[in-house]
Amino acid sequence: MPDTELITIGAFARACGLSASALRFYADAGILVPAVVDEVTGYRYYAPEQTDTARLIRHLRAIDMPLPAVAAVLADPADTAGLVDEHLAAMDRRSAEIRTAATAARAALRVGRALPSNPDPACRTDPGHAPRRGDDPASDAVWVSGPALAAAVDQVATATLTDPTMRVLDTILFEADAQELTLTATDRYRLATRTLRTTCRAALPWTATIAADDLRSTVSWLRRQYSVAVVATASGIEFATAAEVSGGAGRTAARGRGERPGERDLEAHSGRVDGDVGHGASGVELGPNAGPGRRHCRRSTEDFPDYREMLAALPPVSTRVVLARADLLHSLENAGSSTVVLHVSPPNAVSITADGTTARPDTDAGTADRPANAEPSTHEADHSGVTRGSFAAEITGPAMTVHFAVTTLYPAIAGAVGADVMLDLIAADMPVLIRSADDGGLSTLAMPCKPEPTEETSR
């Protein structure tokens, strides 16, 4: 049993202003390790004196400091001011470049006149209109940021696939609990999971497998809503704005069945999963008819695979790599091959090769997309004269070489959140877990491919 003075991860997250997923990310990156991890349950506990460190990390990440630089600050607190000043100077230089480019863009486009404001009232949602818990039955729904939910759908939808023989591959699983809303999709070669913090807790946990096409068509609407309620219904999922819910929309269905607002049947109380939520987590069914303040997405008849069991069955991680996302993307974009080879060389070097040669990240291309604080790639020449491009990384574990199809690895990296990505490598023939994000976890499981046969091996 942990010491009674220790704090659970949920309480520690609230105390320091970080999400539980961010704390797990920092723990696995070796930045902020829990004081105790229960050997039986796996629960993580933190000491009260770790709160100041957690808050410092939050502040450093708020100014877009990359994880290696954060680790350097924590390792040498005496030089904190110098490292922060150096980082801010780099950001100032990047900001100056952006301002110069913006000035040139305005001149080119002749944007000297005032632009008209958007007259659409749906684009101006007042957060103050959000109902308080208990004001309305739908206040038990999961409330999340509309733009964040739209981004989450975009990110996990890269792991969907249209296959008439396996329709479940073109669905997205929604899971709601007391603190998070989780979206998951898989195409058998990738499995993407994104978690979002909720602004209002669900009364009961629920799950629903939703048609990906419906969700894609709803993304542009979600992106323009400040906050939305997510309600599981018998036919799918309902998204509703604060004005729609507080206006009483959705009560008609419950009252039409002779129920009192907020009344739930025994099936909803049973906690049964996917397909068993008759009236949604809120006890109301807003209805399938789309309106200006709500959208409906259909529930799939397919059962989503038990991905958690599959993740739990994976062998332990052998090598962990933390690196700048821009470096990896740039190498993949310039690989010149449909398959690439990821070379991990401890303690701090990663490179990408293709068809027996190294991808050529030139010194100019792609710099506009590179964060100002990203360490530059280096260029070396091997004995054959082929340019070898490598980039810095924090590596824990032995060296490893893994082959990937670009169409599998690139979407997982491109859809990641934040400047850094973490690669959890097990073996050359085992899936790699790609993780990112400080505020809302995004994880993608990507399957490697077999090495391309060389002329020698194909004879």
Domain final position from 260, 291, 308? 308
pLDDT at 175: 94
What's 409's DSSP letter? H
- Does 150 reside within a domain? yes
Q: Quick one: 243 and 382 in the same domain?
A: no
- Does 163 reside within a domain? yes
Domain final position from 285, 308, 331? 308
pLDDT at 249: 41
pLDDT in tens, 202-224: 667 899 999 999 999 999 999 99
Q: Are 372 and 91 in contact (CB under 8 A)?
A: yes
Q: Quick one: 328 and 437 in the same domain?
A: yes
What does each C-alpha distance from 267 to 36, 80, 147, 378 come to in angstroms?
39, 56, 33, 60
Q: Quick one: 155 and 258 in the same domain?
A: yes
- Please state at what angle helix 67-75 crosses helix 80-109, rounded to 10 degrees: 150
Q: Are 36 and 2 in contact (CB under 8 A)?
A: yes
Q: Quick one: 208 and 241 in the same domain?
A: yes
pLDDT at 168: 93
- Does 132 reside within a domain? yes
- Does 113 reside within a domain? no
Q: Quick one: 293 and 261 in the same domain?
A: yes
Spans of the chain, pLDDT less than 70: 1-4, 104-140, 201-203, 246-291, 355-389, 437-440, 452-459
- Does 92 reside within a domain? no
Q: Quick one: 299 and 241 in the same domain?
A: yes
Give the structural domain span for 442.
Answer: 315-446
Q: Quick one: 285 and 143 in the same domain?
A: yes
pLDDT at 277: 36
- Does 456 reside within a domain? no
- Does 401 reside within a domain? yes
Q: Quick one: 19 and 139 in the same domain?
A: no
- Please state at what angle helix 51-62 crosses helix 67-75, rounded to 10 degrees: 140
- Does 49 reside within a domain? yes
Cα–Cα distance measured from residue 33 to residue 9, given in angstroms and rounded to the nearest whole number:
11
Residue 343, both tokens: 């070379």
Q: Quick one: 179 and 52 in the same domain?
A: no
pLDDT in tens, 333-369: 888 888 899 999 998 888 888 755 444 433 333 333 4
Q: In this structure, what CATH number is given to the domain that contains residue 300?
A: 3.10.150.10
What pTM did the predictor assign? 0.64
pLDDT at 114: 38
Cα–Cα distance measured from residue 69 to residue 423, given in angstroms and rounded to the nearest whole number:
18
pLDDT at 437: 60
Q: Quick one: 391 and 431 in the same domain?
A: yes
Q: Quick one: 139 and 249 in the same domain?
A: yes
What does each C-alpha distance from 320 to 57, 224, 250, 353 come to in angstroms?
20, 37, 48, 19
Domain final position from 276, 308, 340? 308
Q: Quick one: 143 and 165 in the same domain?
A: yes
The number of domains in the chain is 3
Residue 42 Rama label (left phi>0; alpha psi -120 to 50; beta): left
